[in-house]
Structure 1
Amino acid sequence: MTWASFCAYLGVCVMVTLSPGPDTFLVLRYSLVRQLHGVIAALGMMVAIFAWATLAGAGAASVIQRFPIVETVISTLGGLYLIYLGLSGFFKSRAVAKADSAIARTETRSTTARQVHSLGKTFTAGMLSAALNPKLGLLFLAMMPSFIPQGSNTFVWGMGLGAIFASVGFIYMLILSTAASKAMHWFKRPEIALRLEWIACAALFIMGVGVLVHAFF
């Protein structure tokens, strides 16, 4: 790969990463509970992104071209999962607020909220969000081959390019998670955090519906 090709690929990574999507809202939603949860969710996403890039290097694009039903299945599962994340997040946050309204009005609300989410579930949610994102997968399958030098080991190159994309994405998600967590610390108003959680959940739900509609129409 030439230096110009590398810079072009890096530019694509940055542009795709900065584009708002389900992964962005999911990290924001978890970061409002606790920054660590946002970081763990981002790590899960990067694992899935690395897997997509590796599959692209292994020639998964040809499989999807031969069997379009695979894309439809991924889109359907991805849409349903985003809807699930949006609805479950909304009901969980509302349950926390109703369970102890006295705590919800103090700075210690985050302590109660932490009990709702385990780090393992947070990591899995982030990983599945990226793994079942059809646009992200198709993006890799479409663009990755053009950046792999002819005659080289496509599998190894796919892993390498995937690692670069995952690194760029994680750095951005880390900055985003830190900013969201710090902002809520400055506000020190649990009511604001609750409303922002609901907005993030609504965005996930709407995106999920959009993915389902696109899958069948």
Structure 2
Amino acid sequence: MTWASFCAYLGVCVMVTLSPGPDTFLVLRYSLVRQLHGIVAALGMMVAIFAWATLAGAGAASVIQRYPIVETIIAILGGLYLVYLGVTGFLKSRAVAKADSAIARTETREGPRQADHSLGKTFISGMLSAALNPKLGLLFLAMMPSFIPKDSNTFLWGMGLGAIFASVGFLYMLILSTAASKAMHWFKRPEIALRLEWTACAALFLMGLGVIISAFK
């Protein structure tokens, strides 16, 4: 790969990473509860991104082209999962909002941390969000082959390029998570955290519906 090709690939990584999507809102939602949860969710996403890139290097694009139903299934599953995250997140936040005002001031910050379960489940949520994102998968399957030199080990190149994309994505998610967490410390108002979490849940729900609808077009 030439230096120009590397810079072009890096530019694509940055542009894709900065584009708001389900992963962005999921990290924001977890970061409003606790920054560590946002970081762990981002790590899960990067693992899935690395897997997509590796599959692209292994020639999975030809499988998708031969069996379009695979793309449709991934899109439907991804959309349903985003809807699930949006609905369950909203219901958990709504339960906290109905609590006694004195208790709510504590549980708005502590309650979601327990409701969102362990760091392991947070990691899995992030990984599934990226793994079932059809646009992200198709992006790698369509883009990756053009950046892999001819007559080279496509599998290893896919892993290498995937690692670069995952590194760029994690750096951005780390900055985003830190900013969201710091903002909540500045406000120190449970009502703001609750409204922001509802906004993130609504975004996940609507994006999930959009993905499902687009799968049948």
1:121-175 deviation per Cα after TM superposition (whole angstroms, max 9, x unaligned): 1101000000000000000000000000000000000000000000000000000
Which residue of structure 2 aligns with residue 113 of structure 1? 112
Which residue of structure 2 aligns with residue 15 of structure 1? 15
Which residue of structure 2 aligns with residue 125 of structure 1? 125
TM-score w.r.t. the length of structure 2 is: 0.97
Residue correspondence of structure 1 range 64-79 to structure 2 within 5 A: 64-79=64-79
Is 1:33 the counterpart of 2:33? The answer is yes
Q: What secondary structure sits across from 1:179 in the alignment?
A: helix
Stretches of structure 1 that go unaligned for 5 or more consecutive residues are none
Q: What secondary structure sits across from 1:150 in the alignment?
A: coil
Query: Superposition RMSD on alpha carbons, in Å?
Result: 1.0
Residue correspondence of structure 1 range 57-68 to structure 2 within 5 A: 57-68=57-68
Cα distance between partner residues in 2 of 1:52 and 1:200: 25
Q: Would the aligned equivalents of 1:54 and 1:159 in 2 still touch at CA under 8 Å?
A: yes
Task: Name the count of aligned residue pairs.
Answer: 216
Q: What secondary structure sits across from 1:115 in the alignment?
A: helix
Q: What secondary structure sits across from 1:105 in the alignment?
A: helix
Which residue of structure 1 aligns with residue 93 of structure 2? 93
Which residue of structure 1 aligns with residue 24 of structure 2? 24
Q: Would the aligned equivalents of 2:108 and 2:194 in 1 still touch at CA under 8 Å?
A: no
Aligned identity (percent) is 86
Residue correspondence of structure 1 range 161-180 to structure 2 within 5 A: 161-180=161-180
What is the Cα deviation at residue 102 of structure 1?
A: 1.4
Q: Would the aligned equivalents of 1:104 and 1:191 in 2 still touch at CA under 8 Å?
A: no
Cα distance between partner residues in 2 of 1:101 and 1:209: 34
What is the Cα deviation at residue 100 of structure 1?
A: 4.3
Which residue of structure 1 aligns with residue 49 of structure 2? 49
Closer, same or farther: CA 100–128 of 1 in aligned 2, 3 Å: farther
What is the Cα deviation at residue 112 of structure 1?
A: 2.6
Stretches of structure 2 that go unaligned for 5 or more consecutive residues are none
Q: What secondary structure sits across from 2:115 in the alignment?
A: coil
Query: What amino acid sits opposite 2:110 in the alignment?
Result: T
TM-score w.r.t. the length of structure 1 is: 0.97
What is the Cα deviation at residue 97 of structure 1?
A: 2.6
